[in-house]
Structure 1
Amino acid sequence: MRYLILGAGALGGYFGGRMLEAGLDTTFLVRERRAAVLTKRGLRVTSPKGDIHIDKPPLVKADSLKAEYDAIILGSKAYDLTSAMDAIAPAVGADTAIIPLLNGLDHIEQLQHRFDVRNVLGGQCLISASLDAEGDVRHFNDLDVLSFGELDGSHSVRVGAIESDLAKTRFTAQALDDIELSMWEKWCFIASLAGINCLMRTSIGGVIEASGGSIALKLYDECVAVAESQGFQPRTEARQRGRAALSAEGSPLTASMLKDIQRGSRTEGEHILGSLLKRATSAKIDTPTLEAATVHLRAYENSLANTTQA
């Protein structure tokens, strides 16, 4: 199968690097600046699971993208989704599988509307990685899971083929028949983590130290209630893991959204928290903690926009 990966940042660079390492036909769709870095330095990944250096990774830019690919791994920020869809459009054929790795679920409907329902799989990843000052990928621990599956729960031929290919890599690839439920479980946790981190401007350990642990758990329970109202009940194991992570004393755990705020950057607050709040309002569920966290992020975004326009 032929794979296209949008971007070669921390996420795309890591998974794509592992795919190239395994001999899979993988190409990165990159912008001019990233292409220049990769052409000069190659793709370099430092990881506890083994380093990678690919001197000349296969690259393509949007203006020369013509061929159709069997699968596209899409890991853009939610606020860049429109431009990301524009970029991959020439590569999407009738049978192309798009595996989006964004948090939340709003992007699924947007992708289905832009392309076709049958083009879009469910997908998510768990990884802690970033780009360093030289543009190399730094992977920080053993966690590197990429999950995907048909949204209707079937185990299709294409999912089987992708699963067979990715089994050759050194990351953990999971083909799930319940991918949408798994996405909801992650969404509830990420929204709770990001919400409490940004609301309190500190790590989970800092929240606990300030006697805010009950607020973090209340936010999580509200997010779970929203999921249940949509027909997706997070499993006991997922709830236990989520609550444990949100109540761990001394934990340095912080969501990337807090780092976005600390850098003065845009956030995915509306996509991750605002979308949950909208669903809660429609379902007439009282979610005061979720509302507070969402309004806080909206106020930050408004302030950022006003500063940029000044």
Structure 2
Amino acid sequence: MKIVIIGAGSIGGYFGALLAKAGNNVVFVARGNHLRAMQNNGLTVKSALGNFHLDKVEATDDIYSIQNPDVIIHTTKTWQVKDTLPAISAIMKEDTIVIPLQNGISIAEEMQSRIPKENIIQGSCKILSKIEEPGMINHFGDTPMITIGEYNQEFTPRLKRLENTFTNAGIPTIMTDDIEKKLWEKFVLICTGGLISITGTSFGRVREIPETREKLRDSLIEICAVSQKVNGKLELEFADKIMDVIDNFPYEGATSTCRDLWNGKHSEIDYLNGMVVKLGKENDVPTPINDMIYYCNLPREYKARKGE
């Protein structure tokens, strides 16, 4: 199977390396020093599940140069997706499958501006990893996992082929008949980074102070209320399940959105708490806590976008 990984960083680099190690024809799309390191020295994965090195990998920064992919796994940041769509559309075959693994709930819909809906299989992933240095991915934390599902909620032959391909590569994979619900469940959790960001602290510090804990829980209830109006996928009580998850996070833990904002980088805040605000307005659901979270993060976000 010819698989293209668009965004061969901490997520795409890890999953792509496993797929290549299993014998698939994998093309990595990357840039900068990370791209040059892969082209010259291959790709190294450090992991508690087993270290390995690929002596030779196919890597490029030119999507247009890739021919006849069977599967395109998209793992860039959410805000980078739109710029890749013309190139993806140009290289696709009639039956090429595109799988977005970004955070958020709107990327598959955004892709449909250039990619036919029938070519998209929605996906979500769980992984803690980073680029330790150019050409080296460091996976840490729990076992990574991918969840995939069709729009029509069926376990189609192509979905089963993907599940088999990923599983054979050592990637635990779940097929679901309700991928939209799975995306929303992850969305609620990822949106917690917005509040952590503006406090400048961590999950542990926010959850141990009664006042900030209450605001965190209220922000989650707002997202569940928006979901009820949009698609009915989440009950309000789901907020307490997420609080239970947060109570088991490392005390000094934070999200990638937090780290991006703190480090002056363009973040995904528009696709997270910003999306809650947008959908709340469109569906007449008040979201005062998420309004505050989003708008308080915007000055830092706008500064990052201007490169200041």
- Indicate how the Cα distance of structure 1 residues 42 and 237 shifts in structure 2: closer, same or farther if over 3 A, else same: farther
C-alpha distance 166-303 of structure 1, shift in aligned 2 (>3 A) = closer
Give the superposition deviation at 1:306: 5.5
Residues 15 and 63 from structure 1, CA distance in 2 versus in 1: closer, same or farther, beyond 3 angstroms? closer
Contact kept in structure 2, 1:99 and 1:122, CA below 8 Å: yes
- Mean CA deviation greater in 30-39 or 110-119: 30-39
Q: Could you tell me which residue of structure 1 aligns to residue 200 of structure 2? A: 201
Name the CA distance, whole Å, in 2 between partners of 1:199 and 1:298.
10
Amino acid aligned to 1:207: V
Q: C-alpha root-mean-square deviation of aligned residues, in Å?
A: 2.1
Match in the other structure for 1:24: 24
1-structure distance, mates of 2:25, 2:215: 47
Q: Percent identity?
A: 25
CA distance in 1, matches of 2:7, 2:305: 26
Amino acid at match of 1:197: I
Give the Cα–Cα distance (whole angstroms) in 2 for the partners of residues 268 and 287 of structure 1: 19
- Any idea what SS the aligned residue of 2:146 has? strand
Matched-pair contact (CA < 8 Å) for 1:213–1:246:
no
Mark the runs of 5 or more structure 2 residues left unpaired by the alignment: none
Contact 1:4 1:73 in 2 (8 A): yes
1:145-160 aligned at under 5 Å gives the runs 145-160=145-160
Give, in whole Å, the separation in 2 of the partners of 1:2 and 1:71. 6
Superposition deviation, residue 111 in structure 1: 0.7
Indicate how the Cα distance of structure 1 residues 95 and 200 shifts in structure 2: closer, same or farther if over 3 A, else same.
same
Measured after TM superposition, the shift of residue 152 of structure 1 is 1.9
CA distance in 2, matches of 1:138, 1:119: 31
Aligned residue type for 2:208: E
How big is each residue's C-alpha offset from its partner over 1:34-66, in whole Å with a ceiling of 9 and x where there is no partner? Answer: 331112221000001111200101224426524
SS at match of 1:8: coil
**CA–CA separation in structure 2 for the residues paired with 1:289 and 1:61:** 40
Q: CA contact under 8 A between 1:226 and 1:276: conserved in structure 2?
A: yes
Hey, what's the Cα distance between the residues in 1 that align with 2:134 and 2:249? 35
Preserved contact between residue 181 and residue 232 of structure 1 (Cα < 8 Å) = no
2:264–2:301 Cα contact (<8 Å) kept = no
| Deviation of 1:182 (Å) | 0.2
Following superposition, the deviation at residue 86 of structure 1 comes to: 3.2
Of 122-131 and 149-158, deviating more is: 149-158
Matched, 1:125 2:128: no
Q: Identify the range of structure 1 (40-49 vs 167-176) with the bigger mean alpha-carbon deviation.
A: 167-176
Q: How does 1:87-126 map to 2 (within 5 A)?
A: 87-126=87-126
**SS class of match (1:265):** coil
What is the CA–CA distance in structure 2 between the aligned matches of 1:126 and 1:249, rounded to whole Å?
A: 14
Residue 24 of structure 1: how far off its partner (Å): 2.1
Residue identity opposite 1:95 in structure 2 = D
Inter-partner Cα distance in structure 1 for 2:249 and 2:105: 31
Q: Quote the residue 1:83 is aligned against.
A: 83
* C-alpha contact (below 8 Å) 1:204/1:248 kept by paired residues: no
**Within 1, Cα distance between the matches of 2:195 and 2:8?**
30
The 1-side partners of 2:166 and 2:143 are apart by 16
Identify if the C-alpha distance between structure 1 residues 204 and 66 changes in structure 2 by more than 3 Å, giving closer, same or farther: closer
TM-score in terms of structure 1 length: 0.92
Q: For structure 1, which segment, 167-176 or 93-102, has the greater mean C-alpha deviation from structure 2 after superposition?
A: 167-176
Q: Which amino acid is the alignment partner of residue 157 of structure 1?
A: P
Q: Structure 2 CA distance, aligned partners of 1:275 and 1:179? A: 18
CA distance in structure 1 between the partners assigned to 2:219 and 2:87 by the alignment: 36
| 1:223-269 deviation digits (Å, cap 9, x = unpaired) | 11111111132379965541212345872321111111221111111
| Cα distance change of structure 1 residues 251 and 235 upon mapping to structure 2, 3 Å threshold | farther
1:175-221 per-residue CA deviation (whole Å, 9 max, x = no partner) reads 21111110011111111x21221121211111133331111111111
Give the 3 Å change call, closer, same or farther, for CA 8–237 of structure 1 in structure 2. Answer: farther
Further displaced range: 127-136 or 81-90: 81-90
- Code of the residue aligned with 2:225 in structure 1: it is A
Q: Does 1:143 align with 2:138?
A: no
Unaligned runs of 5+ in 1: none
The letter of the residue matching 2:198 is L
- Cα pair distance change 1:113/1:306, threshold 3 Å: closer
Matched-pair contact (CA < 8 Å) for 2:39–2:58: no
Tell me what 1:190 maps to. 190
Tell me how far 1:109 sits from its aligned partner. Answer: 1.5
